[in-house]
Amino acid sequence: MTPAHHPAEDLWLDFAAAQVDFATRTLLESHLAYCKSCRTLAADAAAAGALTLREDAPSEAPSSLLAGILARLKTPEQPRVGSEALPLPRALWSLLPDFSAATWRGALTPGFRFLQVLQPGGSGLFLVHMKAGRAFPRHDHTGLERSLILAGGLSTEDGVMEAGDFEQAEPGHVHGPVALPDEDCWLLASLEGGIVFQGWRGMLQRIAGQ
């Protein structure tokens, strides 16, 4: 199925120019595994960037951005956390970061768990698992949030998101996603700030000083 929600075009220009951080690059590369039209955009952006950079040496080959991505697809290893193999699409195995040293964490709601991918600086990157039909409490963001659905889907105030869909939520955007009822939802999310819960969970969060 072709994704319905795509990264903005200027993000592909930043991607091609290596102007995005680790978390954003991982999200964008993962979207490419699902989306033919964005593969074309990314390749065009990379080629345009290569021409700009190489005006002095026009005989050089254009950027091999996509060739590098496709080469890595040839040697996949299924991502694991400890002894647990993650049920993620095979096309993403070699694109995703190393989760092996990460540990699952819970939240204030059953059927929801996440792990933080370790990285030096920049925004945090999280792998999130929601059981089918489970809701994540309504929350606000203190920074930019970008997410990519890897499997299953979510229903939010903004509509339904399914595998391959990319979403960017600006700071201050309040939402409470619910996993679709027939399949567990797996997603990658990057956060530049923290999240702030609404309602009683928000009160607990403020009391706990988190």
Among 23, 35, 65, 191, binds Zn ion (CB under 5 A): 35
Q: Which of 168, 120, 160 is nearest to 11 (CA)?
A: 168
Contact range with Zn ion by CB under 5 A, out of 6-14, 20-28, 70-78, 134-142: 6-14
Which tokens is 92 given?
């993403």
In this structure, the strands spanning 145-151 and 166-169 are antiparallel
By CB under 5 A, tell whether 163 contacts Zn ion. no
| Beta carbon of residue 7, minimum distance to Zn ion (angstroms, whole number) | 7
Using DSSP's 3-state secondary structure scheme, residue 88 falls into coil
- State in angstroms the smallest separation of the CB of 148 from Zn ion: 10
Neighbours of 145 (CB within 10 A): 22
Tell me how far apart the alpha carbons of residues 40 and 174 are, in angstroms, rounded to a whole number.
33
Question: Distance between CA atoms of 23 and 44, rounded to whole angstroms?
Answer: 22
Name the minimum Å distance from CB 24 to Zn ion.
15
CB of 206 to Zn ion, least distance (A): 38
Note whether 112 and 129 are within 8 A (CB).
Answer: yes
- Interface residue with Zn ion among 13, 38, 127, 161 (CB under 5 A) is 38
Q: Is 6 in the site for Zn ion (CB under 5 A)?
A: yes
Q: What values do phi and psi take at 185, rounded to 5? A: -110, 130
Q: Which stretch binds Zn ion (CB under 5 A): 13-21, 32-40, 105-113, 131-139?
A: 32-40
According to the binding rule CB under 5 A, does residue 11 interact with Zn ion? no
Q: How far is the CB of 28 from Zn ion (least distance, A)?
A: 9
Q: Does the protein bind Zn ion through residue 33 (CB under 5 A)? A: no
Cα gap 157→45, rounded to integer Å: 32
Q: Could you tell me the smallest distance in angstroms from the CB atom of residue 188 to Zn ion?
A: 15
- Check residue 141 for interaction with Zn ion (CB under 5 A): no
Regarding 146 and contact with Zn ion (CB under 5 A), the answer is no
Choices 4-12, 83-91, 174-182, 190-198; region in contact with Zn ion by CB under 5 A: 4-12
Q: For tokens 């049920």, name the residue.
A: 87
CA dihedral 22, 136, 163, 147 (to 10 degrees): -20
Query: Where along the sequence are the contacts to Zn ion (CB under 5 A)?
Result: 6, 35, 38
